[in-house]
A and B are shown apart, each in its own frame.
Chain A
Amino acid sequence: MTTPRVHGRWLGVASVALAATLIAAPGIAAGNATDAVPDVAVKAAFLYNFAKFTEWPALPAGAPIVVCIVGDDGIAAALVVTVREQNISGHTLEVWRPQESATWRGCHLLFLADAETRRSAGGLGAIKTLPILTISDGKGFSQAGGIIELFVENARMRFAINVDAAERSGLHLSSRLLGLAKVIRDGHVQ
């Protein structure tokens, strides 16, 4: 695998600035008196935390954790900032934006933006038994077989975990994560 760090430093700076622009837009529009934080920054931080509390079987020591973001460049840009120079138990994080669902097999964590989930049903089916942590902010994602669904309740971010889907994937999610989640099973809200 080619390391992504071959690109120049200016691209890294560009990503940071792009993230800033994307995050800044709603903040400025909403005025400066708000205490609210843009959701992309929060979602990116959630993704980082989900990675922290997940164990991938057969992840070689020192290999990077590949985080794939589909359909939301704002989250991808925010995540590039979040995971910069971070590592989780010795694994660095790499952020990818795969264009085709055929390439999802190379991901450890796969985030599908709301608008993408409806189109992606087939692609998801193909990877459901692989150790890929699938996450979306699309409504009904976890009932439809995705592992983690982010949703908003009272202007706060919450998440649901489909434990059947997690089991199928062979991933181990920490009990701390399960304790905070709304736990559901295939097709039913518990």
Chain B
Amino acid sequence: MRAITRLLLAALLSTAASPTNGFAQTKVPDLRQATIEDLMNIEITSASRKEQRAADIAAAVFVITHEDIRRSGMTTIPDLLRLAPGVDVAQINSNKWAVSVRGFNGLRANKLLVLVDGRSVYNRLFSGVLWDEQDLMLDDIDRIEVIRGPGAAIWGANAVNGVINIVTKAAADTQGGLVRVDGGRSGEQGAVRYGGTLGAASYRLYSQWTRRDQSVIAEGTRANDASHTVTTGFRADGATQPDAWMVEGGFTAGQSRALWPNTDPQTAAREPIANDPSDTQGVHLLGRWTHTRASGASLQTQSFVDIAGRQEPVANYDRRVFDVDTQYHTALGAHHDLVAGAGYRFINETFAGHAGFSLTPADNSASLLTAFVQDEIALFGNRLAVTLGSQVQYDSGSGAGVQPTARLMWKGLPRQRLWAATSRALRTPSLQDRGIRVDFPPVPSASGLPLFVTALGNPAAKTENLVDAEAGYRLEIGTAAWIIATGFVGRYDDLQTQEQSAPAVQFVPSPYILVTSKFGNQLQATTRGLEVAGHWTPVPAWRLDGSYTAFHVTPQLAATSLDPAAVGEDGSAPRTQWQLRSTFSPVARASFDVAIFHVGRLERYQVDAYTRADVSAEWRFTDRLSAMAIGQNLLDAAHAEFGGPSSLVLATQVPRSASVRLRWTFR
């Protein structure tokens, strides 16, 4: 046996010296000739190699697992994102959320890219995500990958501050039936699913119904912002080696209320708030085909169509998206791992404004062409990984852009990972940045004349630009604990401002004062932050997860800017956040989990810091039937999480709630 070992080591050493030729000439040590009895006598070096892949990526990555989702008792995607370190989730009202990472939050936060099974759910109207449309069947989500920091080199424009990648389970993993019912103070949710097989293919059909109850304006005063959504869809997967395919589709429809500012000049003075319902509809279909070679190289092509409409008090909005992209992943020689891809997207959007809102042009079509290449190079016997990549794109609306990245990861120290990266990312102007117009109803001014304010988009709006540097360190302590720290510095140029004109007195039809506010790009900002996350499993039945995030923005407004509010950007994201989660399974049938989230004060919007505590306790009667009791926001009767003009609708307070869940599965 010793001879085999020596031969192996000799082969390896010669390989290290001359990776291809050396190995080809050296005889491979023949473990094939070893009998099982021989193999059982070989001493081996390590008991397991269960490195989580996330640990080997030179970026700040966190994965919310299916288990995390199930045990949290949460029923919305934005709530679930609270589980990831460094994500700033603020609930605006019962059915609207502001979600961002590394600052610049708002209802229409515009620096985060969100994908569901590779389908971008980002919206060109304002470059953000309409979270109330993302009512995904929670039981079918495999994981949510949260990448903090620029991901533009692969994912493309608008992956400026982060990428959220929601991945649903393959149909083979959701076989049989499932019925789940949640009910309590915050609303109800019901979900049904059935999965089966058809020949070599697997499929599932599902439907989820969600009703969200009203939030409160103050303790005891409800906000009339209830909502309901129905989502129905399917997914099918099949394969004949070496090809695999997946098709999924879904339909969603919902209605929600919110407290909108009334911009109708006829009624605004009498009724400052509009509370008409908003309706949303969406349908999508996605297909993906993957061809894998024996070498592990793979070619993947996917295409989707996405058609959606919204009828809100301020406007009707419709979008139609067609997307096709392809990517190839292969090893090149001994040291290169290459991914390259290209894509095309066509988008048509129409906007019919009401009551003072309009968009020019009202009908928009755009084409987007993208291509990227990324090479991960293994150096020094796989101890250093260098990743170089760039994305180039041509957008028929905003022109060409280049978004490169360079990343290093040092794996030479046992149980430790050290990485650093620098990237450039772009946020292209949205339709509203260019062409929105809002004529606000008049308000009385100090001079006695009525004051009219008009907000205008800027047809010459510039692309926002981030150059970022970040570094991370990961340490495993024993087999039961790890800690990760990430630091970053970002420099933003050409951030959006609202440039106000001097008040002008107009005399026709009767005297009034007019102030216009037009979008400009006159803000620079530097962000700095530290994100620390840790995990500890003191005993197998108990795990603790915690994180701490510190964040700071230094805005630098151009001397020529006439935006009085832009310097307040510093206070639009919490300076500190922390969370602590305990998941405990005292016996196989029971679990008891506690999660505490603390979010610092938003100075700009005068929203106080809050601490949220959630508790969930589950009992599994059998492998098929379980019940869970859930308490959310237990520490106060209600608290505000957001406010100010960035919320668009009136921000309300999130009340304490309790609910019960029953879950039944069958074959």
Residues on A facing B (Cβ under 8 Å): 1-2, 4-5, 7, 10-18, 20-30, 32, 34-42, 44-46, 48-49, 53, 66, 72-74, 76, 80-84, 86, 94-107, 113-115, 118-120, 122-123, 125-127, 137, 152, 155-158, 176-177, 180
**B315 located at the interface, meaning its Cβ lies under 8 Å from any Cβ of chain A in the complex:** no
Tell whether, in the assembled complex, residue A40 and residue B241 are in contact, meaning their CB atoms are under 8 Å apart. Answer: no
Tell whether, in the assembled complex, residue A37 and residue B173 are in contact, meaning their CB atoms are under 8 Å apart. Answer: no
Residues on B facing A (Cβ under 8 Å): 2, 4-5, 8-9, 11-13, 15-16, 19-20, 23-24, 28-29, 31-32, 34-37, 39-52, 65-67, 142, 169-175, 197, 200-202, 237-242, 244, 246, 290, 292-298, 330-335, 378, 381-383, 414
Tell whether, in the assembled complex, residue B31 and residue A44 are in contact, meaning their CB atoms are under 8 Å apart. Answer: yes
Tell whether, in the assembled complex, residue B294 and residue A39 are in contact, meaning their CB atoms are under 8 Å apart. Answer: no
Tell whether, in the assembled complex, residue A102 and residue B202 are in contact, meaning their CB atoms are under 8 Å apart. Answer: yes
Interchain residue pairs with CB less than 8 A apart (12): A11-B331, A15-B296, A36-B44, A37-B42, A39-B48, A42-B39, A82-B31, A84-B28, A86-B32, A96-B292, A99-B292, A102-B171
Q: Which residue of B lies closest to A154 (CB)?
A: B43
Tell whether, in the assembled complex, residue B49 and residue A4 are in contact, meaning their CB atoms are under 8 Å apart. Answer: no
Give the residue of A17, A118, A119 whose beta carbon is less than 8 angstroms from that of B23: A17
> What chain A residues lie within 8 Å of B36 (beta carbons)?
46, 49, 53, 176-177, 180
Q: A21-B381, A66-B241 are in contact. List 9 more A-B contacts (CB 8 A).
A: A18-B331, A28-B16, A32-B9, A49-B35, A100-B246, A102-B170, A125-B175, A157-B39, A157-B44
Tell whether, in the assembled complex, residue B242 and residue A96 are in contact, meaning their CB atoms are under 8 Å apart. Answer: yes
> What chain B residues lie within 8 Å of A10 (beta carbons)?
333
Tell whether, in the assembled complex, residue A49 and residue B39 are in contact, meaning their CB atoms are under 8 Å apart. Answer: yes
CA distance A101 to B204 in the complex (A): 14
- List 3 A-B pairs, minimum CB-CB distance, nearest first: A4-B294, A102-B237, A17-B334
If A7-B294, A42-B39, A73-B296 touch, whether A17 touches B333 (CB-CB below 8 Å) is yes
Tell whether, in the assembled complex, residue A45 and residue B39 are in contact, meaning their CB atoms are under 8 Å apart. Answer: yes
CA distance A32 to B13 in the complex (A): 10
CA distance A162 to B388 in the complex (A): 46
Interface centre among B2, B24, B169, B170 (most CB of A within 10 A): B170
Tell whether, in the assembled complex, residue A98 and residue B239 are in contact, meaning their CB atoms are under 8 Å apart. Answer: yes
Q: Which residue of A lies closest to B199 (CB)?
A: A105
CA distance A123 to B244 in the complex (A): 15
Tell whether, in the assembled complex, residue B32 and residue A82 are in contact, meaning their CB atoms are under 8 Å apart. Answer: yes
If A2-B242, A37-B5 touch, whether A155 touches B43 (CB-CB below 8 Å) is yes
> What chain A residues lie within 8 Å of B24 (beta carbons)?
13, 16
Give the residue of A4, A98, A122, A126 whose beta carbon is less than 8 angstroms from that of B293: A4
CA distance A43 to B102 in the complex (A): 43
If A14-B334, A24-B16, A35-B2 touch, whether A7 touches B295 (CB-CB below 8 Å) is yes
Interface centre among B31, B244, B381 (most CB of A within 10 A): B31
CA distance A127 to B172 in the complex (A): 9
If A1-B240, A100-B246 touch, whether A21 touches B39 (CB-CB below 8 Å) is no
Nearest Cβ on chain A to B200's Cβ, whole angstroms: 6
CA distance A38 to B31 in the complex (A): 12
Nearest Cβ on chain A to B11's Cβ, whole angstroms: 7
> What chain A residues lie within 8 Å of B378 (beta carbons)?
21
Q: Which residue of A lies closest to B333 (CB)?
A: A14
If A14-B295, A26-B45 touch, whether A102 touches B31 (CB-CB below 8 Å) is no
CA distance A78 to B49 in the complex (A): 14
CA distance A17 to B44 in the complex (A): 21
> What chain B residues lie within 8 Å of A45 (beta carbons)?
31-32, 34, 39
Give the residue of B9, B66, B331 whose beta carbon is less than 8 angstroms from that of A27: B9
Tell whether, in the assembled complex, residue A35 and residue B49 are in contact, meaning their CB atoms are under 8 Å apart. Answer: no
Tell whether, in the assembled complex, residue A103 and residue B244 are in contact, meaning their CB atoms are under 8 Å apart. Answer: yes
CA distance A30 to B24 in the complex (A): 25
Q: Which residue of A lies closest to B12 (CB)?
A: A24
Q: Which residue of B lies closest to A137 (CB)?
A: B48
Q: Which residue of A lies closest to B413 (CB)?
A: A29
Tell whether, in the assembled complex, residue B41 and residue A156 are in contact, meaning their CB atoms are under 8 Å apart. Answer: yes
Give the residue of B35, B173, B238, B381 whose beta carbon is less than 8 angstroms from that of A122: B173
Q: Which residue of A lies closest to B18 (CB)?
A: A17
> What chain A residues lie within 8 Å of B29 (beta carbons)?
41
CA distance A152 to B40 in the complex (A): 10
> What chain A residues lie within 8 Å of B171 (beta carbons)?
102
If A14-B332, A16-B23 touch, whether A103 touches B239 (CB-CB below 8 Å) is yes
Tell whether, in the assembled complex, residue A37 and residue B8 are in contact, meaning their CB atoms are under 8 Å apart. Answer: yes
Tell whether, in the assembled complex, residue B45 and residue A38 are in contact, meaning their CB atoms are under 8 Å apart. Answer: yes
CA distance A17 to B238 in the complex (A): 32
> What chain B residues lie within 8 Å of A97 (beta carbons)?
292, 296
